[in-house]
Amino acid sequence: MTGLWAPGEHVFPVEQLDDFLRWAWEERASDVSFQTQAPALIEVDGRVRQATSAPLDNTTVERIARAIGRETADGVLRSGRAVDCGHAVGLERGLDIRFRCNLSPVQVRHGFGINITMRLLPGDPPTLDELHIEGEIVEALEACTGLNLVTGVPGSGKSTLLAAGVRRLLEAGAGRIQSYEAPIEFVFDGVETGGASLMSSSEIPRHFVDFADGLRASLRRRPAAVIVGEARDRETVEAAIDAADFGIAVYSTTHTIGVANTIRRMLSEFPEDERDERGAALIDMLNLVVTQVLLPNPQPQGGRTAVREWLVFDADLKAELLDMRRQFWPRRITEALRATGHGLAVQAEAVFAEGRIGARDLARIRASHGMAGSVGS
């Protein structure tokens, strides 16, 4: 089988783990996976491929877990808890390649097993221009106000888009910006700020117990903006709304697809009898919701194309939404997406016409988001 890492032909040499990760980086992998009783895998341009011939036994994967996480990582996993951490591998000239890692216990044929997923992090945050972000999204991000959400499935480039937006704020001299991440993904030390911006990054749970705790601290520190790795529970959503209401611009991500679904998902964290009140507060604070999906380019060109759905919540749209019952919000949001042409299906049609995605992916987007205009319909 071609395209395999040669040293892993018979057994995986854990002492050469960093060599394997450098090889994966050279292969342009975005993700690396290890699992008990399976060969190592890498993902390139959204396609998973085998990276070693030999399956990894439990002892090997436990040793990898200890090398990536900490010496007690396998014990934590056996207790039924996941481990989130970072890992860095040195290159020449003092450069590093960095990974965001998740270690989770799994069931395998002979009992307990471990899955390790490592996502490669870019060295420097890209620019919005390099990502070809649409002008209206750029303007909304630059406004540095309200609640701004970048959504999508894992691996869809949410954090990268958000980092590009943060870079623009720093370069524009937005002031003090604080981020709370698990783990810290991008380093902004090389961004030219002209002395008018300061980036402070904190890691969850090393520096703060959770995202909500970090956000509450920001209310006392009064930055211009805060970056929240993920709005994934009631406490974080509530704290994000409160921070935006306090005049701090909030930028965060969620694992949703579609503008309306994002709002529905965030409100689902609250009890039913609180959703009208919290929903009104959410709409009042919203500035921008962007959904991004990454679709493979047709062969042989390779690579992936980002397709986005977005909606800017201006004063008129907010007033309309707040003047109607919450149950009608998805319909009104769908109408707004149709009117602007910023729905996912319309954007997919445009990139398909340019030959950047295939017919099968376009059909899938149409089926999920086409005739209805939005996942929120």
Q: Is residue 128, in this structure, part of any structural domain at all?
A: no
Residue 86 sits in a domain whose CATH number is 3.30.450.90
Residues 137-173: tens digit of each pLDDT: 999 999 999 999 999 988 888 989 999 999 999 999 9
Whether 309 has a pLDDT exceeding 50, the answer reads: yes
More confident of the two residues 110 and 153: 153
Q: How far apart are CA 252 and CA 181, in angstroms?
A: 10
Q: What is the pLDDT of residue 371?
A: 46
Judgement on whether residues 234 and 104 belong to the same structural domain of the protein: no
Q: End of a domain among 94, 121, 148?
A: 121
Q: What is the pLDDT of residue 335?
A: 94
pTM value? 0.80
Q: Is residue 130, in this structure, part of any structural domain at all?
A: no
Token output for 57 = 């036994």
Which residue in this structure is represented by tokens 């040793």? Answer: 63
Q: Is residue 343, in this structure, part of any structural domain at all?
A: yes
More confident of the two residues 45 and 36: 36
Mean pLDDT, the chain, integer: 89
Q: End of a domain among 121, 146, 165?
A: 121
Judgement on whether residues 83 and 197 belong to the same structural domain of the protein: no
Residue 242 sits in a domain whose CATH number is 3.40.50.300
Q: What is the pLDDT of residue 195?
A: 79
Q: How far apart are CA 259 and CA 255, in angstroms?
A: 12
Model confidence band, residue 370 (pLDDT cutoffs 50, 70, 90):
low
Judgement on whether residues 39 and 166 belong to the same structural domain of the protein: no
Whether 1 has a pLDDT exceeding 80, the answer reads: no
35: alpha, beta or left? (left if phi > 0; alpha if psi -120 to 50)? beta
Q: How far apart are CA 208 and CA 213, in angstroms?
A: 6
The separation between CA 169 and the C-alpha centre of its own chain, rounded to angstroms, equals: 19
The separation between CA 216 and the C-alpha centre of its own chain, rounded to angstroms, equals: 22
- Domain of residue 33 covers 6-121
Cβ atoms 101, 87 nearer than 8 A: yes
Q: What is the pLDDT of residue 377?
A: 31
Residues 65-91: tens digit of each pLDDT: 999 987 778 788 888 888 888 888 888
Token output for 150 = 């970048």
Q: How many domains does the chain have?
A: 2
- Percentages helix, strand, coil for the chain (3-state, rounded to 5) are 40, 25, 35
Residues 313-346: tens digit of each pLDDT: 999 999 999 999 999 999 999 999 999 999 999 9
Measured CA angle at 168 (ends 163, 169), to 5 deg: 95
Judgement on whether residues 175 and 280 belong to the same structural domain of the protein: yes
Residues 41-50: tens digit of each pLDDT: 999 887 899 9
Whether 282 has a pLDDT exceeding 80, the answer reads: yes
Residues 226-256: tens digit of each pLDDT: 999 888 889 989 999 999 999 999 999 999 9
Q: Is residue 1, in this structure, part of any structural domain at all?
A: no
- Mean pLDDT along residues 187-212: 84
Judgement on whether residues 168 and 88 belong to the same structural domain of the protein: no
Whether 3 has a pLDDT exceeding 70, the answer reads: yes
- Mean pLDDT along residues 181-193: 80
Q: What is the pLDDT of residue 19?
A: 95
Alpha helices, DSSP H only, in 122-258? 135-142, 158-171, 211-221, 234-245
Q: β-strand 225-228 against 176-181: which pairing, if any?
A: parallel
Q: End of a domain among 121, 147, 174?
A: 121
Q: How far apart are CA 169 and CA 117, in angstroms?
A: 31
Judgement on whether residues 110 and 139 belong to the same structural domain of the protein: no
- H or E element: which one contains 346? helix 344-353
Q: What is the pLDDT of residue 94?
A: 66
What percent of the chain has a predicted confidence (pLDDT) above 90?
Answer: 58
Spatial neighbors of 272 by CB under 8 A, at least 6 apart, are none
SS3 114: strand
Q: What is the pLDDT of residue 186?
A: 81
Residues 283-301: tens digit of each pLDDT: 999 999 999 999 988 877 7
Token output for 74 = 């396998």
Q: How far apart are CA 297 and CA 294, in angstroms?
A: 9
Q: β-strand 96-108 against 83-90: which pairing, if any?
A: antiparallel
Q: Residue 181, CB half-sphere, CA atoms under 13 Å: how many?
A: 19
Instruction: Give the Å distances, CA to CA, from 2 to 9, 83, 156, 373.
Output: 11, 33, 28, 43
- Mean pLDDT along residues 16-24: 94
Q: What is the pLDDT of residue 303?
A: 81
Closest by CA position to 46, among listed 368, 342, 308, 295: 295
Q: What is the pLDDT of residue 375?
A: 31
Whether 97 has a pLDDT exceeding 50, the answer reads: yes
Judgement on whether residues 193 and 340 belong to the same structural domain of the protein: yes
Q: What is the pLDDT of residue 168?
A: 94
Whether 95 has a pLDDT exceeding 50, the answer reads: yes
Model confidence band, residue 376 (pLDDT cutoffs 50, 70, 90):
very low
Judgement on whether residues 300 and 205 belong to the same structural domain of the protein: yes
Model confidence band, residue 2 (pLDDT cutoffs 50, 70, 90):
low
